[in-house]
Chain A
């Protein structure tokens, strides 16, 4: 990002819509829309502008490793003959992927420099993907950089975590809540695990990194379930998230079992588009100049005219110019508190009061469709899971309120990445959309299905149970809301999700009015770039 010295990022903003408010930009999957909102009862929440990035990221990383919190310097914890495992966040972070060099590359290179200085030669690098799909070689190379990739991948010491390899996983105990704790055997047997995070949202990091990223179904099922998710309010707010409480308990077991973790967490600003032609997407509409308008019109027309495959190629090829805003290293919990504050510094927007109707424009990407298709289950997950839960305090929408999501929601799936999603859509959703019911009736069979296991372990498929987790991600919202409307979605698909389709915003608001009453208040959560509402 090229910014002058006087650059002062503006905080997030809640704009009350009046008659002079211009139509607002709304993502609609792989397309863009302009939407006029009703005056005098609508408001738009804009994200803060990108924080100024750290000028010398490599130096910031070195300093963090040398001056960690709650821990000796990393160099003091490295010694010749030790087993060192470096685990790192997978392809689901950040979104979209960042331009080279990825922050993880900078961190891993610094860690490896220190390890080399200490004479450590037994080093493994593991993509801590839990039950996500295996990263491709190109994706691994992008994250760790050419130098690290060339040094480790050919020797088989840079690889994807495999939660279904019975020889490579170990159960270390159970929490006082009866939750099993399972982890990569390599990590468990290492003298030190260095976990390298890229914390895009407040949910990421902490004990969730090790206890989830390096774990498997046997442990994950204890917190990736409907009961836990409905008690996580929200799962973006660590201290009020049962998901995190469970992970923290599992972390305690890891610690008690002698697993030494040196946590490195990094944050980036929300500069998705830089100063190029896409920058209009991050601007506030009333500040658009002629060039911005032309740029928007051209982008919209091009995306509308391109075939779906072409749109996908263009959009998923985008690499964001994020800037590093902080690096924290040391003891897991101490590090995570600092990191969360940094995420909040970039993303938190104070919002007063709840709304009757909450409006999202869902973009083309979610954590689980990088270089892939946003299938209907991921639409549910992004809208009712991620976007709905981007709050602290209380939900943006009142209990019994309505969420309107703008997205085409076509029944398209990537059969390589999401094979069990297809079956989930064809078999489970026609039977039930109730997370608890589907968990009881279907989850185990999908989790233990040999074909899904085979595709997860040898291909690039998400684990068989993953679509269930994506559905559970929306469990809190499903319990809280009075209805969900999908604007511009394929009607049959939308109905299968248990939602109501609407072809226009007027239709959507009319459907919403049937649930929440006439002239509802409306809040448009204009996301991305990512932000989090601090609702009082």
Chain B
């Protein structure tokens, strides 16, 4: 990206505009949790998320910070967890309230379209020297998420200082911005950030060509993981657990020529058994494959999805969690008894492919275009209809949708 300009400096001045603000209100957080226990997404109407047309984004008085105007902003699983009052308390030291959510974004900056790499690492925070992870380009592993000249925040969209993409305007560090090529339209571009997460997960799972691999979940993340696996690390056989018919169709389509079995959650154990030639023992919650796949990528992050992952992964295999788990209760006996390795995959940074280093975002842009992942954007809403948008996103699978976005400028 180009350096800061006079126009950027002028845009640092706060302009009042429309936004969805996540307020510092424990009481409303509790209400959201209660409401969402009745219906996922209901936290939008009762919780700390407030719509305002008089929001003044905070200004950041530091070099290389610019104002950008979001064109499309996605609603992510982590956003839904926050809105519904279900975020883990782990985030408390690395989040600052109030904040404007939204970290999946394609925006206008200085006459160009950009996507945001939202992790607020050492460079964006002005931390010197850089932590080891940032120095290595592994941005997602930054050790200074509550330091520097910004309020705590692991990403834009969870940091009071920066604003977020669910607003008509927000702040971004130039190091966070990636110019969008003309061949990617806005719906494709808004998929770059989640696709980068999926790519990082797929590549970090260490899938070998002779492996069998399972992907649990076929929402945005699961489908993008399938696309990433098919393109960069195809195993001998892929098994995808997809609950809804449209998700099953999309999973097959994105897997392309990769040998793929698509099953529902309830069918997954049997599908893995067929593919791996193992056996099934136990019944009910204790049912599991005696062997299983080499690698399982859990793109849901619930107690049941993790238990399912452990049930279909072979002894000595690996489970990678991509879906944000929160507080999860699961019997880890299989992890111990079967010596399964459990690891997380968070955001992105730098990937190593065949001895060459790539920025994950660069790979993601290429994958979004190649796999037409922009087609996963199912609906857009103006910020004023946040309750409808959140409800739609929370029930996306059931309603035949995948990715729901906000149109912060209200122009669509």
Contacts and interface: CB of A to CB of B under 8 A. Distances in A.
B280 A426 contact: no
A451 B267 contact: no
B270 A422 contact: yes
A450 interface: yes
Nearest to B278: A451
A130 B43 CA distance: 60
A451 B273 contact: yes
B279 A451 contact: yes
Interface in B254-273: 261, 263, 267, 270-271, 273
A427 B237 CA distance: 15
A451 B288 CA distance: 13
B279 A454 contact: yes
A415 B273 CA distance: 14
A275 interface: no
Contacts of A423: 270, 274
Interface string B309-349: 00000000000000000000000000000000000000000
Contact of B267 (A415, A426, A450, A454): A426
Given A426-B263, A427-B261, A450 B279 contact: yes
Given A426-B263, A427-B261, A450 B271 contact: no
B277 interface: yes
Contacts of A426: 263, 267, 270-271
Contacts of B263: 426
Contacts of B283: 415
Contacts of B278: 451
B34 to A, nearest CB: 34
A331 to B, nearest CB: 45
A422 B283 CA distance: 15
A16 interface: no
A415 B283 CA distance: 10
Interface string A404-426: 00000000000100000011001
Contacts of B277: 449-450
Interface string A430-471: 000000000000000000011100100000000000000000
From A427, A449, A451, A454, residue with most partner B Cβ within 10 Å: A451
Contacts of B279: 450-451, 454
A60 to B, nearest CB: 47
Interface in B37-80: none
Interface residues of B, number: 12
A451 B280 contact: yes
Nearest to A448: B277
A458 B97 CA distance: 61
Contacts of A451: 273, 278-280
Nearest to A422: B270
Contacts of A422: 270
Chain A interface bracket (under 10, 10 to 19, 20 to 34, 35 or more)? under 10
A50 B118 CA distance: 81
B16 to A, nearest CB: 53
Interface in B63-121: none
Contact of B271 (A415, A427, A449): A427
B411 to A, nearest CB: 41
A151 to B, nearest CB: 36
Contacts of A450: 277, 279
From A415, A422, A427, A450, residue with most partner B Cβ within 10 Å: A427
Nearest to B264: A426
A451 B276 CA distance: 11
Interface in B354-374: none
A374 to B, nearest CB: 20
Contacts of B261: 427
A450 B278 CA distance: 8
A465 B267 CA distance: 20
A423 B263 CA distance: 11
Contacts of A454: 279
A423 B274 CA distance: 8
Interface in A21-67: none
A259 B280 CA distance: 40
A438 B291 CA distance: 26
A449 B267 CA distance: 18
A449 B278 CA distance: 9
A219 to B, nearest CB: 25
From A415, A426, A449, A450, residue with most partner B Cβ within 10 Å: A426
A464 B261 CA distance: 19
A478 to B, nearest CB: 25
Interface in B274-312: 274, 277-280, 283
From B263, B273, B278, B279, residue with most partner A Cβ within 10 Å: B279
A97 to B, nearest CB: 27
A188 to B, nearest CB: 31
A91 B270 CA distance: 28
B222 to A, nearest CB: 19
A535 to B, nearest CB: 42
From B274, B278, B280, residue with most partner A Cβ within 10 Å: B274
Nearest to A446: B274
A370 B280 CA distance: 24
A423 B270 CA distance: 7
Nearest to A442: B274
Contacts of A415: 283
A426 B269 CA distance: 12
A37 B272 CA distance: 48
A415 B271 CA distance: 15
A449 B279 CA distance: 9
A422 B263 CA distance: 12
A168 B270 CA distance: 30
Contacts of B271: 426-427
Nearest to A430: B262
Nearest to B266: A426
Nearest to A454: B279
Contacts of B270: 422-423, 426
Contacts of B280: 451
A422 B261 CA distance: 15
Contacts of A449: 277
Interface in A100-140: none
Nearest to B248: A430
A422 B287 CA distance: 15
A427 B278 CA distance: 16
Nearest to B245: A492
A454 B270 CA distance: 15
Contacts of A427: 261, 271, 274
A415 B267 CA distance: 12
A11 B277 CA distance: 54
B53 to A, nearest CB: 47
A449 B271 CA distance: 13
A426 B283 CA distance: 19
Contacts of B273: 451
A415 B269 CA distance: 13
Nearest to B273: A451
Nearest to A449: B277
A328 B2 CA distance: 98
Nearest to B275: A427
8 contacts: A415-B283, A423-B274, A426-B270, A427-B271, A449-B277, A451-B278, A451-B280, A454-B279
Given A423-B270, A427-B271, A451-B278, 10 more contacts: A422-B270, A423-B274, A426-B263, A426-B271, A427-B274, A449-B277, A450-B279, A451-B273, A451-B279, A451-B280
The 5 closest A-B pairs by CB, nearest first: A451-B279, A426-B267, A423-B274, A423-B270, A427-B274
